[in-house]
């Protein structure tokens, strides 16, 4: 046995920094919960009701152009809010898995086309012939990718019939009994009518052998996608409020219902007494440290959100006034450099936060957009491109809808934007819009 010394550098987060990052990440409702919990558990903290809430961030004003009178239109706003209040869609779940398991770009393109044609119950509504014709590929390649997607969660997804959907689930559960497959393939109608005796007779098997298999089938899910299609609305409380005041913007970090916290003076005086026993003193010291740590973290959260909002206002004035279709390119990294913060800190601050602008409530992250360059080398936001794609699809001939390649060509010809077919497909999926095959009215 030998002892050796080893010198190495490690980045360690001190407890105070961990608390600060945690508080920064929390949306308003969670911050309220953690503040109330600490208020109940820490005797060094007390709630006060001052005339002027010291924890509320002072309004910041910025000169801006005169209002054009334009607002985010009702349907457009409803569309954006619907994205905020929906559960993760089935297509989102499938595309995430496709990105993990597709081995080639071609397989990824085929998978995106297939997933775009899966309905809310999890069934593939386009035929393989239609998909093959759209992509101009051989049927065996499309069939191979379909088999891959049929291995994804939820079990049974991408089946073309109820029978195929249930057979996929049986295969994934390693149910290889040929008798149970025969029931699914040929006797689902009898199963629905509970004609179990007829099924046993048709299969020439005793009823007591068939009934356990029927019970297994009844436990399967004939609509595997339905758990992802149900909408779940919830109340959104904005963390930041941007108001119009005369010719200025007024920004407030929202602290609605957050208790105003102070250090309890009685316990603070007790801590200073010399006759206090060591155990009580150590307890009060720890509680004081926790209380100060929380107050500093809340204050830092507000300062950080305020700084981020200031840069957003400077960069995205048009988007705030006229709607998110007018976004300019802005990334977390660019904003972090402007306020001299780490990119990960900005990301933590932005995630799960909402901002109230004159036209409604939107996610703070929606003011950030990646860059796409036009033919002249000018930067255009990806959100703007998505808006153009949405508009093109809304105006298309439904009997002859635009394919992703058609949309790519139109964007290049009419808007001078070089967007690949693959990128168009990606944005279309993010907009929850089905592929051209499924949009076609026959």
DSSP per residue, 157-188: TTBSSHHHHHHHHHHHTT---HHHHHHHHH-H
pLDDT of residue 85: 45
Residue written as tokens 């299969």?
203
**Residues 363-406: pLDDT tens digits?**
888 888 765 555 555 556 677 788 889 889 999 988 889 999 99
Give the residue among 324, 323, 357 at the shortest CA–CA distance from 244: 357
**What is the reported pLDDT for 84?**
44
Q: What is the CA radius of gyration of the chain?
A: 29
Written as six digits, the tokens of 2 are 């030998």
Fold match between 90-229 and 371-439?
Answer: yes
Q: Which CATH superfamily is domain 371-439 in?
A: Homeodomain-like (1.10.10.60)
Domain positions in the chain = 24-66+235-367, 90-229, 371-439
> Is the model more confident about 99 or about 208?
208
> Tokens for 435?
């592929």
- Contact criterion met (CB below 8 Å) for 321 and 70: yes
User: DSSP 3-state assignment of 55?
Assistant: coil
pLDDT of residue 378: 56
What pLDDT score does 157 carry?
92
Q: Chain centroid to CA 69: how far?
A: 31
pTM of the model: 0.49
| Mean pLDDT estimate for the chain | 79
| Residue 291 to residue 303: CA distance in whole angstroms | 19
**pLDDT: which is higher, 247 or 316:** 316
Rounded to an integer, what distance in angstroms lies between the CA atom of residue 137 and that of residue 106?
10
Residue 53 has pLDDT above 60, yes or no: no
**pLDDT value for 352:** 80
Residue 381 is predicted with a pLDDT of: 66
Asked if the peptide bond before residue 247 counts as cis, ω within 30 degrees of 0, the response is no
In terms of C-beta density within 10 A (0-12 exposed, 13-18 middle, 19 or more buried), how is residue 83 classed?
A: middle
Count the alpha carbons within 13 Å of 384 in the hemisphere toward its beta carbon.
22
Tell me the mean pLDDT in the region 148-159.
90
Region 141-165 average pLDDT = 91
Enumerate long-range contacts of 228-233, CB under 8 Å, 24 or more apart.
228/87, 228/88, 228/89, 228/90, 228/93, 228/120, 228/154, 229/89, 229/90, 229/120, 229/121, 230/87, 231/85, 231/86, 231/87, 232/85, 232/86, 232/87, 233/85
pLDDT of 63 above 70 = no
Output the pLDDT for position 309.
Answer: 92
Q: What angle do CA 435, 436, 438 make, to 5 degrees?
A: 70
Instruction: List pLDDT tens digits, range 122-131.
Output: 999 888 888 8
Query: Above 50 in pLDDT, residue 158?
Result: yes
Strand partners, 362: 355
Confidence of residue 54 (pLDDT cuts 50, 70, 90): very low
List the single range of 52-56, 116-120, 154-158, 187-191 with lowest mean pLDDT.
Answer: 52-56
Burial 275-296 (b: 16+ CB within 10 A, else e): eeeeeeeeebeebbebbebbbe
Closest residue by Cα to residue 55 from 281, 259, 335: 259
CATH number for the domain formed by residue range(s) 90-229: 1.10.10.1330
Query: Long-range contacts for 180-184 (Cβ within 8 Å, ≥24 apart)?
Result: 180/213, 180/216, 180/217, 183/210, 183/213, 183/214, 183/217, 184/217
How far is residue 59's CA from residue 56's CA, in Å, rounded to a whole number? 9
């Amino acid at each position: 046995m030998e002892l050796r010394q080893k010198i190495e550098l490690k980045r360690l987060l001190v407890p105070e920094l961990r608390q600060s990052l945690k508080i920064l990440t929390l949306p308003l409702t969670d911050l309220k919960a953690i503040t109330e919990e600490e208020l109940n558990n820490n005797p060094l903290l007390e709630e006060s009701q001052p005339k002027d809430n010291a924890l509320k961030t002072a309004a910041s004003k910025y000169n801006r152009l005169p209002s054009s009178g334009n607002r985010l239109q009702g349907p457009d706003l409803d569309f954006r809010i619907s994205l905020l209040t929906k559960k993760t869609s089935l297509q989102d779940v499938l595309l995430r898995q496709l990105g993990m398991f597709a081995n080639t770009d071609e397989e990824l393109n085929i998978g995106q086309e297939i997933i775009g044609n899966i309905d809310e119950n999890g069934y593939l509504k386009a035929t393989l012939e239609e998909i093959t014709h759209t992509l101009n590929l051989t049927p065996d390649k499309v069939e191979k990718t379909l088999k891959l997607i049929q291995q994804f969660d939820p079990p049974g997804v991408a089946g073309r019939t109820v029978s195929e959907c249930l057979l996929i689930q049986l295969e994934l559960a390693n149910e290889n009994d040929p008798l149970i497959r025969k029931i699914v393939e040929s006797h689902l109608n009898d199963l629905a009518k509970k004609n179990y005796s007829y099924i046993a007779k048709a299969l020439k098997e005793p009823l007591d052998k068939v009934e356990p298999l029927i019970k297994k089938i009844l436990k399967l899910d004939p609509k595997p996608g339905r758990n992802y299609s149900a909408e779940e609305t919830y109340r959104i409380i904005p963390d930041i409020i941007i108001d119009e005041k005369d010719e200025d913007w007024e920004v407030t970090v929202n602290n609605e219902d957050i208790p105003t916290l102070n250090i309890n003076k009685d316990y603070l005086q007790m801590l200073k007494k010399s006759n206090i026993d060591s155990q009580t003193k150590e307890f009060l010291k720890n509680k004081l440290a926790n209380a100060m740590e929380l107050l500093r973290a809340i204050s830092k959260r507000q300062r950080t959100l305020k700084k981020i909002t200031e840069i957003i206002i400077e960069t995205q004035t048009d988007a705030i006034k006229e709607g998110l279709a007018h976004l300019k390119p802005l990334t977390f990294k660019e904003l972090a450099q402007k306020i001299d913060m780490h990119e990960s800190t900005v990301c933590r601050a932005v995630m799960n936060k909402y901002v109230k602008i004159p036209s409604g409530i939107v996610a703070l992250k929606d003011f950030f957009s990646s860059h796409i360059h036009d033919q002249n080398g000018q930067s255009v936001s990806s959100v703007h491109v998505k808006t153009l794609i949405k508009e093109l699809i809304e105006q298309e001939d439904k009997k002859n809808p635009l394919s992703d390649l058609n949309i790519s060509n139109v964007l290049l010809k009419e808007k001078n934007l070089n967007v690949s077919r693959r990128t168009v497909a990606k944005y279309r999926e993010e907009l929850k819009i089905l592929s051209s095959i499924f949009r076609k009215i026959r």
